[in-house]
Amino acid sequence: MKIFVPPIKSQGIKSKLVEWISSNVEAVEFDRWVEPFMGTGAVAFNVRPLKALLCDSNPHLINFYKAIQRKEITSGVVKHFLSEEGKKLLDTEGAHYYVIRNRFNENGNPLDFLFLSRACFNGMMRFNKKGGFNVPFCKKPNRFAQSLITKITNQVSNISQIIAQGDYEFRHQDFQKTLSELKSSDLVYADPPYIGRHVDYFDSWSEEEEIILHSRLEKSKCKFILSTWLSNKYRTNDYVFSVWENCYIATKEHFYHLGGKETNRNAVYEALLSNIKLKDSISNTEMKYRIQNDKSQLTSKSINSNLPEQLLFKL
Ligand SMILES: C[S@@+](CC[C@H](N)C(=O)[O-])C[C@H]1O[C@@H](n2cnc3c(N)ncnc32)[C@H](O)[C@@H]1O
């Protein structure tokens, strides 16, 4: 499967899991794909449903994709913008990053958002208490070399085509509003922030919200799939066996290589919880039995990745 990588980066991006998610939903019938937490859109843009409602509480993500949909942002516009601003970044030995960051925090221009997403430290997306983007510069004044600009313009071109070919609606709204608009023929893919992991203006999540999400999904009578984690070396996600105890569970082992060394591998079990049986899923009770009896938690083949160390602490 060819994976389409979105031009916007974020620590929560599911690019490494989209093939697995797609293979698990390909036999599921639905009229409309709904994501209350679309993030970068990596999942929808790879599942490529005919019709979709894609929402997020972060207005900058929605504005960016709406601008692509309206053809205000095209690969040509992006190429010109990043070449110009990239040159200023190089000429000022990186100081221009902070000019753009201040400008973005005043007027929220979607092209500045793209610039920041691709020139900030490690492609992080983080906002302060006032909603200002606060990730520092990646410290590479030559960040927008021709090869990266070509890569980003190709990503914009691919995503523009995917959006133009589908019947997609992008909306800036809270997940509760999205869940109040569901139809029973929708398939909901929910990828909320992990509880207690982030303290970010657009991206915090509480136990109360997790419980609301579960009860609204149950009430909607829709088919739903939730992305979460099951366990890592240190702990198990207890919400899987409390809030989501009635769900089927599919898991995939994801290895994070620390410092690039093969011996420093840390496994995380990523999970898909659903109210329908997916290709790889087993019952919640069966998974509980497996964990209690020290048996394999894996329901599908493993995947590998090299992620920077600071991302591991989010898991
Ligand atoms: C884990 S990320 C989603 C990642 C996405 N699947 C991807 O591949 O890029 C969670 C998203 O939920 C959004 N979010 C957080 N709280 C929300 C809320 N109350 N309502 C709607 N979206 C919310 C965040 O802005 C963030 O984009």
Task: Print burial letters for 238-254: b (CB count within 10 Å at least 16), e (below 16).
Answer: ebbbebbeebbbbbbbb
Mean local confidence (pLDDT), 183-194? 96
On the question of pLDDT at 133 being above 80, the answer is yes
Question: How far, in Å, from the CA of 189 to the mean position of ligand 1?
Answer: 11
Quote the pLDDT of residue 313. 38
Distance from the Cα of residue 227 to its chain's centroid: 10
Question: How far, in Å, from the CA of 41 to the mean position of ligand 1?
Answer: 10
Question: How far, in Å, from the CA of 260 to the mean position of ligand 1?
Answer: 29
Instruction: For residue 154, give the nearest of 313, 315, 308, 6 by alpha carbon.
Output: 6
- Nearest-atom index, ligand 1, CA of 18: 8
Residue 306: band (very low, low, confident or very high) from pLDDT cuts 50, 70, 90: very low
Cβ atoms of 229 and 277 within 8 Å: the answer is no
212-240 pLDDT, tens per residue? 999 999 999 999 999 999 998 889 999 99
Hey, whose CA ends up nearest to atom 12 of ligand 1? 37
On the question of pLDDT at 263 being above 90, the answer is no
Question: How far, in Å, from the CA of 248 to the mean position of ligand 1?
Answer: 22
Cβ atoms of 276 and 266 within 8 Å: the answer is no
- Nearest-atom index, ligand 1, CA of 35: 6
- Catalogue all structural domains in the chain, each as residue range(s) with its CATH number: 15-57+173-312 (3.40.50.150), 75-158 (1.10.1020)
Dihedral angle sign, alpha carbons of residues 284, 192, 177, 199: positive
Two tokens, residue 261: 């060394």
Ligand 1 neighbours by CB, cut-off 6 Å:
10, 12-14, 36-37, 39-40, 42-43, 56-58, 174-175, 191-193, 202-203
Please name the helix (run of DSSP H) or strand (run of DSSP E) that holds residue 186, with its range, or none.
Answer: strand 186-190
Mean local confidence (pLDDT), 303-312? 45
Quote the pLDDT of residue 200. 80
CB atoms within 10 A of CB 27: 8
Residue 27 vs residues 33, 131, 204, 259, 269: alpha-carbon distances, Å: 14, 40, 33, 39, 23
Pairing of strands 282-283, 248-257: antiparallel
- Nearest-atom index, ligand 1, CA of 61: 27
Mean local confidence (pLDDT), 123-147? 96
Residue 273 vs residues 99, 200, 312: alpha-carbon distances, Å: 43, 25, 22
Mean local confidence (pLDDT), 61-74? 98
Quote the pLDDT of residue 259. 56
Hey, whose CA ends up nearest to atom 13 of ligand 1? 37
pTM across the whole model: 0.93
User: Comparing 314 with 265, which gets the higher pLDDT?
Assistant: 265
Paired with 266 in beta bridges are 256
Ligand 1 pocket test target in 126, 203, 206 with most atoms within 8 Å of CB: 203
The Cα 148–Cα 119 span in angstroms is 11
Mean local confidence (pLDDT), 90-105? 98
Question: How far, in Å, from the CA of 12 to the mean position of ligand 1?
Answer: 8
Question: How far, in Å, from the CA of 193 to the mean position of ligand 1?
Answer: 6
Residue 312: band (very low, low, confident or very high) from pLDDT cuts 50, 70, 90: very low
Hey, whose CA ends up nearest to atom 27 of ligand 1? 39
Helix (H/G/I), strand (E/B), else coil: 227: strand
